[in-house]
């Protein structure tokens, strides 16, 4: 291999790593923005959380499922009534929220950003600790395959949530 070919190969590898570095920063920024949005809209009173009255009514009507005693130590968990002014995340409120296409886009974006950011990080860690190139590439490829499968399943679940199936 001539020095020119060797240098060209190194330049393409450097460009690839630079793109990876940039993507790690972009997905990290996207995660910070989407997680902030998620926190503000999901954990603060805004109509997507059940009020204490709604939740307590659901408890009385048996709509909130209790864990079976065989799954937890005696008395370890039981649903408690919500305090006045408290807001609670319930399945029905999550389904209500996910009926909106905008929320589906937001949740899918958060999922894809998290998977991409995690895989970029895993690739960097494997680059630092796995010296054998073939093994490192195989592990990174397997990681991306796993991430693609998780993305597929996550997107499928998000798209199906909130649909009236029955």
Angle at 141 between CA 135 and CA 147, to 5 degrees: 140
Kindly state whether residue 41 falls inside one of the protein's structural domains.
yes
- Tokens coding 164: 């009236």
Kindly report whether the global pTM for this prediction surpasses the value 0.75: no
Instruction: Please give the tally of structural domains in the chain.
Output: 1
Average pLDDT, the chain: 79
CATH of residue 21's domain is 1.20.1300.10
Kindly state whether residue 74 falls inside one of the protein's structural domains.
no
Q: What is the pLDDT of residues 46-65, one digit of tens each?
A: 666 777 777 777 777 665 55
Distance from C-alpha of 160 to C-alpha of 154, rounded to nearest angstrom: 10
Kindly state whether residue 71 falls inside one of the protein's structural domains.
no
pLDDT-based confidence at residue 116 (cuts at 50, 70, 90) = very high
Find the mean pLDDT for residues 16-38.
88
Tokens 């974006």 belong to residue: 109
Which is higher by pLDDT, 85 or 24?
24
Q: What is the 3-state secondary structure (H, E, C) of the chain?
A: CCHHHHHHHHHHHHHHHHHHHHHHHHHHHHHHHHHHHHHHHHCCCCCCCEEHHHHHHHHHCCCCCCCCHHHCCCCCCCCCCCCCCCEECCHHHHHHHCCCHHHHHHHHHHHHHHHHHHHHHHHHHHHHHCCCHHHHHHHHHHHHHHHHHHHHHHHHHHHHCCCCCC
Q: Residue 67's pLDDT is what?
A: 38
Distance from C-alpha of 133 to C-alpha of 157, rounded to nearest angstrom: 36
Q: What is the pLDDT of residues 22-32, one digit of tens each?
A: 999 999 999 99
Domain that holds residue 141: 3-49+89-160
């Amino acid at each position: 291999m001539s020095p020119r070919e060797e240098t060209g190969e190194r330049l393409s590898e450097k460009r690839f790593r630079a793109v990876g570095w940039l993507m790690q920063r972009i997905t990290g920024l996207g995660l910070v923005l989407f997680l902030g949005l998620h926190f503000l809209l999901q954990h603060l009173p805004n109509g997507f959380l059940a009020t204490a009255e709604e939740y307590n009514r659901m408890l009385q009507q048996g709509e909130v499922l209790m864990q079976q005693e065989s799954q937890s130590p005696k008395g370890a968990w039981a649903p408690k009534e919500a305090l006045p002014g408290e807001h609670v995340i319930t399945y029905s409120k999550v389904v209500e929220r996910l009926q909106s296409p905008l929320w589906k886009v937001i949740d899918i974006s958060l999922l894809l950003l998290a998977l991409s950011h995690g895989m970029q990080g895993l690739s960097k860690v494997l680059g630092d600790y796995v010296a054998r190139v073939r093994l490192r590439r195989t592990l990174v490829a397997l990681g991306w395959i796993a991430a693609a499968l998780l993305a597929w399943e996550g997107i499928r679940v998000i798209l199906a949530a909130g649909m009236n199936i029955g």
